[in-house]
A and B are shown apart, each in its own frame.
Chain A
Amino acid sequence: MAAIAIAFGAGIAAADCASFACCVLLAGCLFVLALTVARSYQRPAIIILISAFVLGAARYAVDQCVPASDISNFARSVSAFEGRVASDPQVEPDRMRFVFNVSRIKTAKGWRSAAGDVMLSVYAGDDEELPKLSYRDRARITASPYPPIDPTNPGQFSYKSYLARRGIYTCASVRDLSQIKVLNRDGWRSPVGAALMLKRCFVSSISRIHPRDEASVISGVVLGTYSYLPEDTLSDFTRTGTLHVLAASGYNCFIMLWIATFIFKCVRVVPKWRWIAALLLISLYVMMVGPMPSLVRAAIMSALLLLAAPLKRVATYKNVFYASGIILLAITPSNLFDVGFQLSFAAVYALISVAPILEAMLSRTALGRIGSNRKKMRGNRHIARIRAGMNRHARELVAVAVATTAVTFVTGPIVAYHFNYISLTAMPANMAVALLVPVIFADGLASIITCHLPYAHLWMGIIGTWSTRAMVGAVHFFGSMSYSAVSVQSPPILAIAGYYVVLYAVMSYLRSKFAER
């Protein structure tokens, strides 16, 4: 499965560098070479890999085709357009921004049907209030769309490329609110609209029982968004390599499923219905948070793992991991170039492939024996219990340290390439926050109920606030150190490829060495 996933990804990467015809030509050459050089028993595998390569290239080529009816093809002649709000509007004090899915456009020849998405920015004047628009609301916008502008400076974020990866090739801005006419509001009737309403309920519930700064962090942990965070706090999370805590990912899915399983057991849900309930819960969470690559990857992996038992299949983490990669890339091939996708897959690869090897290495040292004292405890029963608890926490901390080291090794070059820094405090910072995240996540999730309960909201508010303060304090402590992060120049792609080849070789050697013993 790993080889097929890599071949599929290589096909997408090749189609990005060269035309589809060139990719097919390259695949043809490889095919001929394989038939000539490879042994007969190797040929079927090679043919499968070449097919995966061609499929990846074809999928990317199809994805890059802009339909003839896309609004970007008429951008210059459009004076107004109609459609629906296609994303949860991001609201800032003086403006809001959202994706608008177009169904009709007005040109000099009158109204005609069209398709495609527009990134719409709405600006409010000093005394004006932003319009209350929600997901799926139907509206008419009187504005001329324009293509996004290319960056003209080195090191500048390319908004054009970012939008293109989401299939958006046109922008529009509205500075006079009379340019927007809401035609109907039925967003809440769709499942995504209802999920987004639930998301707003979560944000307001969290804000009701926590102070503003802490509420922004808790909302970030629960809903995987940075938009509520103060800039300094965000900078500290970035410098300490703990930003993943605020990104919706597998960790959120894991904690949610863990809490859900606990509740299902308490209310005695029949096991065969538990996986259906868990799947529905994950789907709801994805709709609420949005289709971020890291979350979709986690959702696909969770779904495959949950479906394995009822379908009477054996699911291994590695196969599920690579299968989720293929599924995600088949849905949106341009995700391959998304930093969230790259970091998410690199981190999970580190956890399932590199961390076990490091653990095996560590188990032979004194550090690896921390918390593994299995001698019978003598004396007072309470002291023995405390010692057992301390041992368990020590083992958890060692596991977090190993996982963080593995993730830092594997994601390091990607972070350096996209963000130009290497965090030197990632390990202690992650160890400090790792045990607090489940508490904050559970507190945030429960706030939607507890904020209505007389005394519970006080207690939950205190627990959430103090846990968040402890986490932010730890992150700030490590983030404000002079050398918490070192700036580096973006390494060349070839150097990154070389790094991973060396890493893979070293890990393969270590795996074989420890397997022998």
Chain B
Amino acid sequence: MITALIWISVLATDRSVLKVTFLDVGDGLCTVVRTPSGKTMVFDCGTSSWRDNESIGTRLAAPYLQSMGIDKIDVAVLSHPHSDHVSGFAGLLAAKPAKLVLDTGIKEGSPEYMKFIRAIRKCHARYRIAKRGQVLDMGDGVKVKVLDPTMIASNSDLNEECIVLRIVYGQSAFLLAADAGDEAEHEMLSDGIKVRAQLLQVGHHGSRLATSPEWIEAVKPDIAVISCARNSQYHFPSRQVVERLEASGARVYITGKDGAIQATTDGNTIWMRTFRNSW
């Protein structure tokens, strides 16, 4: 009878939740999305704070996916080919192959990006270039919408051409802005794109060149997540941006201070969990 009760309690665990985890990678970004149907999306995997930046995929992201029992990544998204977003992707894809890869299509000759491209070929993933308006159906009502970029640009600022995603599940929406700056924000707002979200991954690691007052006003986030190191070499996040977010009523989480940040939603409510000193 005791055994039966134990098994019932284990099996009765509610699995209809969407989990978005912002890993503490220092100055960089690595976001893992786990949908209720068990699909996995990884949004960027890079850092510029580690002694060996490329090992972030094998030493941090892959063990996290392994701990969740994930063998394959359903969608891997590279927001833009800057080192702090791509450096660990090749290692991660070698350990956990992806089925579909979304990229900006901007040809960047950096060694990390070339390794990423080789890793895509090696794992036989489908390669797609992201464009505004694309929608990925992740099952169980989870939709991932591409808000930016509008077209392939090769010579402009890579940050302004990065992929911006809006993940919608029930009444909850998460906006992943990667390194999008003021220019990209202005473009999305002027085009009338729906950007409202309960959780905002603050653009460009909380830099003062992103997260304009108009952007905050349009997104109206309840929760803001900034991915940057504890003692950031670029002095992220900008105090101005943090004050602006707090003034808007958003709760600000910083990976450097709070460790990894996990947002869980059932489509209505969002629960937050941080991982520093939680062991």
Which residues from chain A contact B71 at a C-beta distance below 8 Å? 486-487
**Contact between B7 and A495 (Cβ–Cβ < 8 Å)?**
yes
Task: Report yes or no: A502 in contact with B275, Cβ–Cβ below 8 A.
Answer: no
Taking the nearest CB of chain A, how far is it from the CB of B114, in angstroms? 22
A151 within 8 A of B: yes
Question: Which single member of A150, A160, A492, A495 contacts B276 (CB below 8 Å)?
Answer: A150
- CB contact between B262 and one of A154, A157, A158 (< 8 Å): that residue: A154
When A and B form their complex, what is the total count of cross-chain residue pairs whose Cβ atoms lie within 8 Å?
71
Cα A45 to Cα B30 in complex, Å, equals 56
Query: Once the chains bind, are B275 and A153 in contact (CB under 8 Å)?
Result: yes
Residues B259 and A153 in contact, CB atoms below 8 Å apart:
yes
**Chain B residues numbered 20-64 whose CB sits less than 8 Å from any CB in chain A:** 21, 23-24, 60, 63-64
Q: Which of A470-517 contact B (CB under 8 A)?
A: 486-492, 494-495, 497-498, 501-502, 505
By beta carbon, the residue of chain B nearest A489 is B69
Bound CA–CA A505/B79 (angstroms): 53
Report A-chain residues with C-beta under 8 Å of the C-beta of B276. Answer: 150, 152
Q: A161 vs B278: C-alpha distance in the bound complex, in angstroms?
A: 13
Does chain B have a CB within 8 A of A420? yes
Give the chain A neighbours of B263 by CB distance below 8 A: none
CB-contact partner of B279 in A161, A489, A492, under 8 A: A161
User: Which size bracket describes the interface of A in this complex?
Assistant: 20 to 34
Q: A498 — which chain B residues lie within 8 A by C-beta? A: 3, 6-7, 10
Neighbouring A residues of B65 by C-beta, 8 Å: 155
Whether B190 sits at the interface, judged by CB under 8 Å, is no
- Tell whether A156 is near chain B: CB-to-CB under 8 Å: yes
A320 and B215 CA atoms in complex are apart in Å by: 70
With both beta carbons as reference points, the residue of chain B lying nearest to A486 in the complex is identified as: B71
What is the bound-complex CA distance between A498 and B3, given in angstroms?
Answer: 5
Given A495-B6, A495-B10, A498-B10: A152 touches B275 (CB 8 Å cut-off): yes
Whether A153 touches B66, Cβ cut-off 8 Å, given contacts A498-B6, A498-B10, is: no
**Chain B 158-170: CB-based contact to A (< 8 A → 1; otherwise 0):** 0000000000000
Expressed in whole angstroms, the Cα–Cα distance for A157 and B65 within the complex equals: 13
B98 to chain A: closest CB distance in Å? 15
Given contacts A420-B69, A487-B70, A501-B2, contact A154 B7 (CB under 8 A): no
In the complex, chain B residues whose CB is within 8 Å of the CB of A150: 276-277, 279
Residues 223-279 (chain B) with a chain A CB within 8 angstroms? 255, 259-260, 262, 275-277, 279
Query: What is the bound-complex CA distance between A492 and B23, given in angstroms?
Result: 23
Chain A residues in 8 Å Cβ range of B66: 155, 420-421, 487
Q: Is the CB of B69 within 8 A of A153?
A: no
CB closest chain-B residue, reference A501: B3
* Interface status of B9 (Cβ within 8 A of chain A): yes
Q: Is B67 an interface residue (CB 8 A)?
A: yes
Flag if B67 contacts A420 (CB, 8 Å): yes
A-B contact pairs, 20 of them (CB 8 A): A151-B279, A153-B23, A153-B24, A154-B64, A154-B67, A154-B262, A155-B64, A155-B66, A156-B60, A158-B279, A421-B66, A487-B66, A487-B70, A487-B71, A489-B68, A490-B69, A495-B7, A495-B10, A501-B3, A505-B3
Chain A residues near B (Cβ < 8 Å) = 150-158, 160-161, 420-421, 486-492, 494-495, 497-498, 501-502, 505
User: Which residues does B use to contact A, with CB under 8 Å?
Assistant: 2-3, 6-7, 9-10, 21, 23-24, 60, 63-71, 255, 259-260, 262, 275-277, 279
